[in-house]
Amino acid sequence: MITVLYVDDEPVMLDTFTIFLERDPEFRVIPVLSAKAALRVLETGGVDAIVSDYEMPEMDGIAFLKVVREKYPRLPFIIFTGKGREEIVIESLNNGADYYVRKGGDPRAQFAELASKVRHAVDLRESQARVARLNRLYLVLSRISEAIVRIHDRRTLMEEVCKIAVHEGGFIRAWIGFEDPQTHAVTAMVASGTLDGFFTDVRESAEPLPEGTGLTITAIRQAQQSVSNDIPADPLMTSWLNDSQAHGYRAAASFPLTACRKSKGAMTFFSQYTGFFTEAEIDLLHEICEDISYAIEMLDLEATRLRIQSELEQSRRQLVNIINFLPEPTFAIDQAGTVIIWNQAMELMTGIDAGQVLGKGNYEHSLHILGTRRPALLDMLTQSDESLARHGYTSIARNHRTLKAEITAANVRGAPAVLRLTASPLYDEKGQLAGAIESVQNITRIKKAEEEVLENREKYHLLLENVSDSVIVHAIDGDNPGRLLEVNDRACQMVGYSHDELLALSFADLCIPEEEQHIAQAIRDLRRFRHTVFETQLVAKDGRRVAVEISALMLDVREKPVVLSIIREIPRNSYSEHASVIV
C-alpha cells in the first residue's frame, strides 16, 4: 500500500482527491489543509509520497518542498496546482519535485494521471533507494573486509565494524551484543552512534522465556536473522516501541554472530525508513555478519593460541627454574645432543659453570662428568642392558621410561667417584621426543658405608659363631620380650630349632608360662640397669625344658632397645624354681 500525504487549503479538493484515490486499494490518503500540518504528520513517519498544492497561506508549495527535501530527501514530491506559469514549473523541478501536474480538465483523467505519477515516482524512488542502499552495503562489505585484514584486536575490530555500518551504510545505529554463557544475559558490547538508553539498557535474556523476545535475542536463540521492517506495527518490538519512536527507528534487523557453529551474539542494524531491509540487503548483511563471525572466531582462536603459547613458555620457564634449583645435579640435552640445561647442583658437583656447556654438543656433558667424550646414560636410553654393561654401567634398572644405572668416574673434583644416574626422555607439547634429562648422584660415601656395614656384619657373624655359649638377640615389647632378631648356631642346637625357625619366633615363645612374671621383672631390671643375670627355663622344640643362666645386656640399635642375651645351660639339679635375679 502507498500512503499519500495530500496538502491543499481547499477542503473540496482534499475530499475529492481522497475519495478518488482510495477507490484503488493500493492507496491510502492522509489529507491536511496546510504545509505546517503536513510537516507534523511527516514527523510520525509512514508516508510514501507527497502531493501538494502550490498556492497556500503561511507556506506555499515551493517553500514546503524545500523543507521536505532538506529533511526527507528521498520522499517523492508532486506539485498539483492550478498555477501553470512556466517559472513555477521550473522552480519546482529545480528544488527537487518529481512531477508537476496542473489542476483542471476532466477530473477522472486528472486524478488518474496523478495516481500514475505517484505510483511511478514511488517506484522510481524505491528503485533508486535500493540501488543506493546496495551500493552502500557493498562499500560496507569492502571496508569491513579491509578492517578484518588490518585489525587484530577483537574489540577494536567490532568497534570499527559498527562505525563503518553507520558512516558508510547509512544506518542510524549499529551495535554488537554477546550472550553471557552463565547468565544468558545479552548486553551491548560495542555500538556506533550516540550511546543513549536504548543501548545502555540492553539487558535481556537469551533463555527461551517470554521476556526474551527482541530481535537480537531471537537471532541468537534461533541462530538466524530476525527482521522488523515496520517497528511500530511489529509485536516482536513491543517492549522497544517507545524508545524506537523517540529515536526515529522505523526498521531493524539482527544477524547472529557464530563461532565454531554456535551462536554467541548478534549484530543489529537500525534504519529510519520503514521497509528498509529488502531480500537483497538481508543477503548482503548476512554475508557481512558471516565475515565478521569468521574474523571474530579467528581472533578468538589466535588469542587462545597466544594464551596457550604464553602458558607453555611460562611452564617451560618454571620447569627450568625448578630444575635449576633442584638439590640433585641435573642436566638435559635436545635431540641433537646439545646441552640445554645444566643446573646449579651440576655446577657445584663438576666445578663447571653452565655458560661453559650450554649450547654445546659432542658429548660435552660427559667430558665434565666422566672425564671423556662418550655416550652418557641419557644418550643410551634405547640401548640394551648388555650394551650399557659394555660401557661400564652396573646396577641397571628400568621402570617405564626411566633408566637407572651406576658407573665409576675416574675424576670428579679431583677424586674417583661412584655415580648413581637416572635418565628419562623429554617430550614436547605435541608428545614428540625432544631430548633427554639425567640426574646424577654421587654415592661414593654411601658405597663406602655399605662396604663397611658388610664388613662389620661379617665380623659380627664370625663373633657369634665362635662363641661357645648360646647367643640370642631379641626385641622388647613393653615388659615382655619381643621377636628374635638374631641367633647363633649354638642357640639353635640348644633348643632344637633351625636358624630360620627360631627367627620366626619371639623370645616369649621359648619361655615356660610359669616364668612369665620372672621374665617381666628381668625386663624391668634391664630398662633400669641396662644389664641383668637371671636363671630360668626354656622350652625346646621337642618339648623338653632346658635350665639356663642368662646374662642380658640392653643395647640401642637405631634408637630402639634390643636385648643381647648370652645363655649358658646349667644342670637341672642346680636350678631352683623362682630363682632370684642376680643384678
Q: Is the pLDDT of residue 250 over 60?
A: yes
pLDDT of 57: 87
Residues 104, 77 contacting (CB under 8 angstroms): no
pLDDT of 573: 67
CA–CA gap between residue 562 and residue 492 (Å, rounded): 19
Q: Average pLDDT of the chain?
A: 85
What is the full DSSP assignment across 166-181?
A: HHTT--SEEEEEEE-T
pLDDT of 339: 94
Q: Is the pLDDT of residue 201 over 50?
A: no
pLDDT of 377: 92
Q: Is the pLDDT of residue 425 over 90?
A: yes
How many alpha carbons lie under 13 Å from residue 417 in its C-beta half-sphere? 18
Residue type, 210: P
All domains of the chain, ordered by start, with CATH? 2-130 (3.40.50.2300), 151-302 (3.30.450.40), 328-448 (3.30.450.20), 467-574 (3.30.450.20)
Start-to-end CA distance of the chain, whole Å, equals 128
Per-residue pLDDT band at 262 (split at 50, 70, 90): low
pLDDT of 195: 47
pTM greater than 0.75? no
What mean pLDDT comes out for the span 142-159? 88
pLDDT of 546: 92
Kindly report, residue by residue over 455-476, the tens digit of the pLDDT: 777 777 777 777 788 999 999 9
Kindly report, residue by residue over 355-374, the tens digit of the pLDDT: 999 999 999 999 999 889 99
pLDDT of 342: 93
pLDDT of 210: 38
pLDDT of 127: 83
The C-alpha angle with vertex 187 and arms to 185 and 188, in degrees rounded to 5, equals: 165
Q: Which of 60-64, 200-204, 299-303 is predicted with the least confidence, judged by mean pLDDT?
A: 200-204
Kindly report, residue by residue over 320-337, the tens digit of the pLDDT: 777 888 889 999 999 999
What mean pLDDT comes out for the span 545-557? 91
Q: Is the pLDDT of residue 97 over 70?
A: yes
What is the full DSSP assignment across 90-145?
A: HHHHHTT-SEEEE--S-HHHHHHHHHHHHHHHHHHHHHHHHHHHHHHHHHHHHHHH
What is the full DSSP assignment across 406-427?
A: EEEEEEETTEEEEEEEEEEEEE
Most confident range, picked from 66-70, 193-197, 273-277, 306-310: 66-70
